[in-house]
Amino acid sequence: MENLKLKDFLDYKYLSGLELSPNKKFGAFVVNSSDYDENKYLSNIWIYNCLSNVYKKLTTMNNEKNFIWLNNDILLFPSTRDEKLKEKIKEGEQWTSYYSININGGEAEEYMRIPMVVSDIQIIAEDKFLITAIYDHYGINLHSLIGDEKTKAIDIIKENKDYEVLDEIPFWSNGEGFTNKKRNRLYLYDKGTNSLTPISKQFENITLCSVRDGVALYISENFTNKKEQTTGLFMYDLYSKEATCVIEDGEYSIDFAEFIGDNIVFCGSLMDKFGINQNCNIYKIENGDIKLLLEHDFGMHNSVGSDCRLSGGKDVRIYNNSIYFVSTESKSSFIKKLSLDGTVEKLTKDNGSVDCFDICDDGILFIGLRGNKLQELYTLKAGIETQMTKFNEIIIETKNIIKPEFIEFINDNNTIEGFILKPVDYDKNKMYPGILNIHGGPKTVYGSVFFHEMQYWANEGYFVFFCNPRGSDGRGDEFADIRGKYGTIDYDDLMKFTDLILEKYPQIDPTRIGVTGGSYGGFMTNWIIGHTDRFKCAASQRSIANWISKFGTTDIGYYFNTDQNQSSPWDNVEKMWWHSPIKYANQAVTPTLFIHSEEDYRCWLAEGLQMFTALKYHGVDARLCLFKGENHELSRSGKPKHRVRRLEEITNWFEKYLK
């Protein structure tokens, strides 16, 4: 077996977007791989035959990231292959071109062109589609212009590229850029007449949920100055062309909705007890009345962290009048089945994460990280999981993969769960450096799933240890609730976990331990260096330094910061300052590397610059590596070369101070 190398993640395959055909005989999914030389990812659609268990590559143009089933044999996927269309898009025209391909063979052919940037699409009838697409209130529509008018409009678009006008919050969004007065709008597209008809209002943001019997179900939020955290639920009758409000906006934060039998079910949170991080319940709407179907104290969705995914897929499904959903409990995510009588059944085992799934009479097909393996496609039949693909099997067969050892302890009557990776070729008679890794969120979890950076560090001779302190997901609302407590009970859990690790493993040199983390983990790294000198070095990634400045500069700051700190800059500013790591930067002595991305609008660059400047000002060794063209997802889905450089920067910093 070979030691895992830093660049080995470039050979991993990343699976996503699983969807079964209407007749449930085939599954389609996307396989992504890295192209280091071109510094991008290659994405193609694959087909899995549910009867023969054979899987094959369907597309080969390396840019097919999503799709829908047109019928049992044909897939539609967006792609820009026509050179003239590419030139039009460069000039500023908005287009989404869909291609069709038969899963039984043949070349892809252009099927239709929609004069919008489509974000979601559903078939409602032959040649008729419901779509959501980006509507820009301040944008210029070139489609209706010709001649000098079009030339002048193109010149205006070029001129406006140097400017951004802001008149609402949030004005930008991580991964999307500036979003001011841009909305995900609902449209009806008729392929036969090539007509596009807006359905929702110009300032409504729409999530299209489902279409049945000529009725569309969608989640809506309508705002012009400040986006709130509640949403409404609506139905639109495609025949009468009338919208009906099912749930008024203002009470629930709705995450999912779907028709079931003659009724509607939805996942929503009232946010009344634990704020914006409160877990969703599942409700049924029957004869206009909202009835609680399941009061759920666990996260709805997979929150088990890994740096070995690129995209997701659907994690809630309706089948045979039951709701199937992914839920995170403890250190794993599971598929659960909820019947309409309120009975809940857990269908999968405590063995990692389920990333997306689909379901039929014969069982469940899902993509997941199971055990120590990278992503693969699995079937679940009669309670038995079977791995059906071997995209990443060579990694498991040829590389040293360290199995995480599970550790738990009690702190303040709470059980804290954690893990440790021993260094490769571990010798109990030797001394080793150690790394504490802190997850983001804070409402996510570490599990035993494959995590490249930590496996790599263990292969480089480090003990790597990580845990789920209070604030993490998977243990219920009360455990996850650290509003107004950042840097207190969570910090205590992490420090006592470190104490336990050093006691349990005397082979770790306590004078050679480092700490790192991203997002919330970056906040905690910044907090740690201002409150203890026990770590020889630190690597703070996409961090939070100042809750006051973050309030006014990031996409979620104006509501996340106030909710999580139970204060605002005008209401107990002293509390926001008390919980800000920058307040304690003058006490820091730990050499610290800062990793930030220029387009990270979640934890903006200004946060890292403040901490970096403070440490330099006080004579502490510090280094900041800024990644241009990257956002908050750098460590997970950043460009391949940038992900390599990021891991090199952190590893070199640890090598400098810990070895």
> Model confidence over 544-582: pLDDT tens digits?
999 999 999 999 999 999 999 999 999 999 999 999 999
Give pairs for 612-617: CB < 8 Å, separation 24+: 614/545, 614/582, 614/585, 614/586, 614/588, 615/585, 615/588
Contact call for residues 320 and 307 (beta carbons, < 8 A):
no
DSSP 487-499: TTHHHHHHHHHHH
pLDDT at 63: 95
- The C-alpha atoms of residue 535 and residue 591 are separated, in whole angstroms, by 9
Tell me, what's the pLDDT at 46?
98
Give the CA angle between residues 331, 335, 338 to the nearest 5°: 125
For the chain, the distance separating the N- and C-terminal CA atoms, rounded to the nearest angstrom, is 24
Catalogue the E-assigned strands of 361-459: 363-370, 376-381, 384-387, 405-411, 414-421, 432-438
Position 153 confidence tier, pLDDT thresholds 50, 70, 90:
confident
Q: Are 360 and 50 in contact (CB under 8 A)?
A: yes
DSSP letter (8 states) at residue 226: B
Reported for 278-281, long-range contacts at CB under 8 A and 24+ positions apart, including other chains, are 278/477, 279/476, 279/477, 279/480, 280/253, 280/255
For the chain, count helices (H), then strands (E).
13, 39
HSE value, Cβ hemisphere, 13 Å, CA-based, for 594: 30
CB 303 within 8 A of CB 440: no
Residues 537-555 as b or e (16 or more Cβ within 10 Å = b): bbbbbbbbbbbbbbbebbb
Tokens of 244: 């009906």
Instruction: Verify cis geometry, omega within 30 degrees of 0, for the bond prior to 591.
Output: no
Measure the CA angle with vertex 185, ends 281 and 275; round to 5°. Answer: 30
Structure tokens at 108: 């892809």
- Kindly report the CATH number that applies to the domain delimited by 402-658: 3.40.50.1820
Average model confidence (pLDDT) for the chain? 97
Nearest to 179 by CA among 607, 555, 556, 549: 555
State CA 315 to chain mean position distance: 13
Enclosing H/E stretch for 648: helix 640-658
Cα 572 to Cα 566: distance, rounded to the nearest angstrom: 9
| Contact assessment for residue 639 and residue 5, using Cβ atoms and an 8 Å cutoff | no
pLDDT in tens, 616-641: 999 999 999 999 999 999 999 999 99
Please give the Cα distance from 50 to 24 (Å, whole number).
Answer: 8
In contact, 64 and 44? CB cutoff 8 Å: yes
The Cα 266–Cα 323 span in angstroms is 10
Contact 188/130 with Cβ under 8 angstroms?
Answer: yes
Q: How much is the average pLDDT of 445-465?
A: 98
Bridge-based pairing of strands 537-541 and 508-518 is parallel
- pLDDT at residue 299, rounded to an integer: 85
Contact 252, 282 (CB under 8 A): no
pLDDT band, very low/low/confident/very high, at 498 (cuts 50, 70, 90): very high
Which tokens hold the place of 514? 């480092």
Residues 419-431: what's their mean pLDDT?
98
**Domain residue ranges in the chain:** 402-658
**Exposure b/e, 250-283, CB count within 10 A at least 16 = b:** eebbbbbbbbbeeebbbbbbebeebbbbbbbbbb
217, pLDDT greater than 90: yes
Asked, as a colleague might, if the bond just before 510 is cis with ω within 30 of 0, I would say: no
Q: What is the mean pLDDT of residues 335-351?
A: 96
Rounded to whole angstroms, the Cα distance separating 398 from 1 reads 5
- What pLDDT does residue 429 have? 97
Phi, psi (degrees; rounded to nearest 5) at 586: -70, -15
pLDDT score of 275:
97
pLDDT of residue 146: 84
What confidence tier does 6 reach under pLDDT thresholds 50, 70, 90?
very high
In our burial notation (b when 16+ CB lie closer than 10 A, e otherwise), range 412-427 reads eeeebbbbbbbbbeee
pLDDT of residue 455 exceeding 90, the answer is: yes
pLDDT for residue 144 is more than 90 = no
In this prediction, residues 283-292 reach a mean pLDDT of: 94
Pairing of strands 463-468, 414-421: antiparallel
- Looking at 61-75, 224-238, 288-302, 485-499, which range is the least confident one? 288-302
Q: Is 76's pLDDT higher than 90? A: yes
143 pLDDT band (50/70/90 cuts)? Answer: confident
3-state secondary structure of 143: coil
Structure confidence at residue 272 as a pLDDT band (50, 70, 90): very high
Report how far residue 449's alpha carbon sits from residue 417's, in angstroms, rounded to the nearest whole number: 14
Within a 13 Å sphere around the CA of 224, how many CA atoms are in the beta-carbon half? Answer: 5
